[in-house]
Homo-oligomer: A and B are copies of this chain.
Amino acid sequence: MTGPDDAGRFRVEGTSGRARAATLRLARGTIHTPCFMPVGTLGTVKSLTPGELRDAGVEILLGNAYHLYLRPGTRVLEALGGLHRFMGWDGPILTDSGGFQVFSLARINRIDDEGVTFRSHLDGSLHRLTPELSMEIQAAIGSDIRMAFDECPPGDASPGAARTAVERTLAWLARCRARHEALQDAQRDAHGDAHGDAHGDAHAGGGLLFPIVQGASCDDLRLESVERTLAMGEWPGIAVGGLSVGEEKEVTHRVLDTIEPALPSDRPRYLMGVGYPDDVIEAVRRGVDMFDCVAPTRNGRNGTAFTAEGRLNIKGARFASDPAPLDETCDCPCCAGYSRAYLRHLFVSGELLGLRLLSLHNVRFLIRLTSRARAAILRDEYDRWADDWLATYRRGSPRPATEQEGEDGPC
């Protein structure tokens, strides 16, 4: 196992314009960027096993502090040795802090400088989440990358509300760091050495803390958020939150264009909640390295497949007797083993196997997409490759595909 001294080492191996191909070393494995992280909200990427994800080339998963705090709870996670052991995934895990969820999903009771009081979306029970508690939950989960607890204003927030969120997020970041460091120290003391547990326990190598840039659609505020975050010290990576939450794509792109020059080139950049294929391609062009989204699995459960020639809804009557695979160019078990006619039959009949197979295909599609993007960057041909890829993909897609994709939609 890689020792914690190496964890966080980020090496840029090639660039093409602003696009970067890099590796990020983590205690449980090295990830290759551009990197797509499937979302395992509740300790499972919906309908898929860890083995299937590994075989699909997934290097890192995302979990959610908010959800895992409510179910199964930190006591169960600690008793079972952390999330990796609990769910049977021994690769890296990144956890969201709960910020996005308490602002988008829970019923907010009160936000103050101390934290957020909210009612659970499950049973209405009252809870209070603070920067400190978020770090404690993420430590109990044992994730490899932990996100700072941030205030996420709505996409159409006023400049005043956006500023308040930026200020609060910065103040909370300092508290997150203090608690994170204390937890790391306590863990090192408990283990008595710096190499974690040879049995691969949940705490191997500790976790890296990533701050989150906010600022809604205000360029100045976004830049200020970046600069003041960086002024607080060294970070192993930096995330961009509060984008792709309903604003126009042009706004997302403009914000990314604005902040990119201010971001350290030697640290990974993570664009939170983005993961439609075309959005990934455009963000990689703007210097983003890491992505997560429920798009592959949620679309898969709804019968929508990503293909090289665009999005396709398998329920369409035109597929009733179609012997072709979903995507001729794909190497996933779904495309290797089943026809569109069969997949359509499964969806029309409400069969669970359909959800599974399309989810698996879509995950594999994103993994192959980011691998191919990486290869194009290493050849220094990213822009041309991306333009060609987008032209083919968009020709076949029924309509622009950016939707708000929180981790928490209906099954």
**What separation, in Å, do the CA atoms of A19 and B347 have in the docked complex?**
42
**Is the pair B42, A351 in contact by a Cβ cutoff of 8 Å?**
yes
Residues in chain B near residue A320, CB distance under 8 A: 72, 76
Interface flags for A69-110 (1: CB within 8 Å of B; 0: not) read: 001100110011000001110000000000000000000000
Interface flags for A333-367 (1: CB within 8 Å of B; 0: not) read: 10001110110011011111101100000000000
Interface bin, chain A: 35 or more
Residues in chain B near residue A47, CB distance under 8 A: 352-353, 356
**Is the pair A321, B79 in contact by a Cβ cutoff of 8 Å?**
yes
User: Residue on B with the closest CB to A341?
Assistant: B80
Q: Is the C-beta of A268 less than 8 angstroms from some C-beta in chain B?
A: no
Q: Is the C-beta of A171 less than 8 angstroms from some C-beta in chain B?
A: no
Q: Is the C-beta of A184 less than 8 angstroms from some C-beta in chain B?
A: no
- Shortest distance between the CB of A307 and any CB in chain B (Å): 20
Q: Is the C-beta of A323 less than 8 angstroms from some C-beta in chain B?
A: yes
**What separation, in Å, do the CA atoms of A341 and B356 have in the docked complex?**
23
Q: Is the C-beta of A411 less than 8 angstroms from some C-beta in chain B?
A: yes
Q: Which of B87, B333, B345, B350 contacts A76 (CB 8 A)?
A: B345
The 8 closest A-B CB pairs, nearest first, are A47-B352, A72-B345, A79-B321, A44-B353, A88-B337, A42-B349, A44-B351, A86-B342
Chain A interface residues toward B at CB < 8 A: 42-44, 46-51, 71-72, 75-76, 79-80, 86-88, 320-321, 323, 333, 337-339, 341-342, 345-346, 348-353, 355-356, 411
